[in-house]
Amino acid sequence: MQRRSRATGIVCFIAGLSCGSKSGLDSEPNVGQGRTSTGGATVRGEPDAFVAATLAPSSDNYTGCALNAAYPFVAIGAPSCGGATTVRNDGDAVQVSCSVLPAGGGFDVSLSAKTAGGSGSGFTLTGHVVPGDAGSIAFGYPTAVNAVFENAKYGSYSRPQFDTVRLCTLRATLSYAGNDCALPDGVPVGLGGIWGHVSCPTVQDIPGPPDTGCDAEADFFFESCGQ
């Protein structure tokens, strides 16, 4: 089931129209909807997500990639100016699980969104995220994270474990944002929610050769996550 994210404005990216009203993740500690108590961590019903990931030849070693052009690797939900239209976990066609937990002056993040069936795809991301100053829409600095990109046709890709230089990095931006399509208002990460763009300049097939020469990029929103 699709729903408008709280970080969503009017869909104008696809239509090429100027944006209307928009809102981002709350700058308050809690973000998301459907809050319920489980006697432990506070959760808000089923989590929901938007993921738009592509795989393309890397500028470093484009001849080593199985693809010769950018390919839409993961598509869950849809982009919108100021946010995204997310898809809620239903445990069947779409499986979303996530947690955004406070730790060490930032947040420990674990995200997963997958679709079922022959055209199934998936995206996972884990890492420690440090936000910028209060009210900022930028993380304090590019944050190194681990990410896995899955596609029914081309398989799974992640950063080679031996590569300690070309890391996957997370930034508070969205590739579809521009002059007529602004970023969401508010902070990009809070208890139970996060949005951003992850860039992995070198990923390899799992299992695969040491370096396939592919570049993986993804915009994402996750909300109503465990906290």
Contact present, 92 and 116 (Cβ < 8 Å) = yes
Which pTM value belongs to this model?
0.78
Average pLDDT for 55-76: 82
Residue 17's pLDDT is 27
Distance CA(181)–CA(195), nearest Å, equals 16
What's the pLDDT tens digit per position in 18-55? Answer: 232 233 444 333 333 322 222 223 345 789 999 999 99
Angle (CA) 34 108 134, round 5°: 75
- The candidate with the shortest Cα–Cα distance to 196, out of 112, 114, 139, is 139
**pLDDT-based confidence at residue 201 (cuts at 50, 70, 90):** confident
Distance (Å, whole) CA 119 – CA 98: 22
Of 14-23, 38-47, 79-88, 134-143, give the range with the top mean pLDDT. Answer: 79-88
Which residues form the domain of 128? 2-223
Res 206: pLDDT: 74
Counted domains in the chain: 1
Asked if 149 and 198 count as a contact pair (C-beta separation under 8 A), the reply is no
Check residue 133 and give its pLDDT.
61
Query: What is the rounded CA–CA span in Å between residue 227 and residue 218?
Result: 23
**CB neighbours of 218 closer than 8 A, spacing ≥ 6?**
51, 52, 53, 54, 74, 123, 147, 149, 197, 198
Q: Is the pLDDT of residue 199 over 80?
A: yes
* Residue 148, token pair as written in the block: 């896995």
Query: Three-state SS for 208?
Result: coil
pLDDT of residue 109: 94
Task: Check residue 211 and give its pLDDT.
Answer: 54
